[in-house]
Each structure stands twice: as C-alpha cells, then as structure tokens.
Amino acid sequence: MRITQKGQVTIPKPIRDRLGVKPGSEVDFIYDGHEVKVVKASRKSAAEIARLKRLHETIERMRGTSTTGLTTEDIMRMTRGEWW
C-alpha cells in the first residue's frame, strides 16, 4: 500500500467494514513502539486517552519482570493447585 504525498492511505473496504467506519467516521492511530493500529475513534477525552496510553506503556515496560523470584513454571503450578 502506498502513502500519498499528503501522508494519506486508503483503508481497504473489508477492514473499514470490520471496524464499522464509513465516510466521515473518525479513527485513531495507536503506536505501541512496534506497530501502528487503526481503531475506530472513541468519545474519550484527550486526558483519558493520555492516561490509558501511559498505563499501556507502563504495562509494556513491566512485561516479563517480577520481583517475587518465582519462575513462570512456579506460577503455573500455583494456578493449577500443585504448589502445596
């Protein structure tokens, strides 16, 4: 897909249909550091969107970290009731 000189790109019709967007609809672009997602715009305030973005970034930074000393297998044993 080619981007125009104005930075525009056409969203393919099957994707527009799945998102439920029509001419005049608003969409948001979300960049998570690795990829861009196009989502149907919500009516959330700019402050709420910023808060959710900060929360998402915090969760991504924490992914794969733990200070408990437990391994993934330890946690899985606990959830299966095999710990004790």
How wide is the angle at C-alpha 72 spanned by C-alphas 68 and 75, nearest 5°? 70
Q: Is residue 84, in this structure, part of any structural domain at all?
A: no
Q: Is residue 6, in this structure, part of any structural domain at all?
A: no
21: Cβ contacts below 8 Å, ≥ 6 apart? 11, 27, 40
| Residues 40-74 pLDDT 10s | 887 777 788 888 888 888 888 888 777 778 888 88
Give the pLDDT confidence score for residue 6 in this predicted structure.
93
What average pLDDT does range 31-46 have in this prediction?
Answer: 84
- Number of folded domains in the chain? 1
Cα–Cα distance for residue pair 71/66, rounded to 1 Å: 9
Q: Is residue 38, in this structure, part of any structural domain at all?
A: yes
First-last CA distance in the chain = 55
Provide the residue range defining the domain that includes 59: 13-79
Q: Is residue 5, in this structure, part of any structural domain at all?
A: no
Dihedral Cα 18, 33, 28, 59, nearest 10 deg: 90
pTM listed for this prediction: 0.45
Give the pLDDT confidence score for residue 49 in this predicted structure.
82
Percentage of the residues of the chain whose pLDDT score is greater than 70:
98
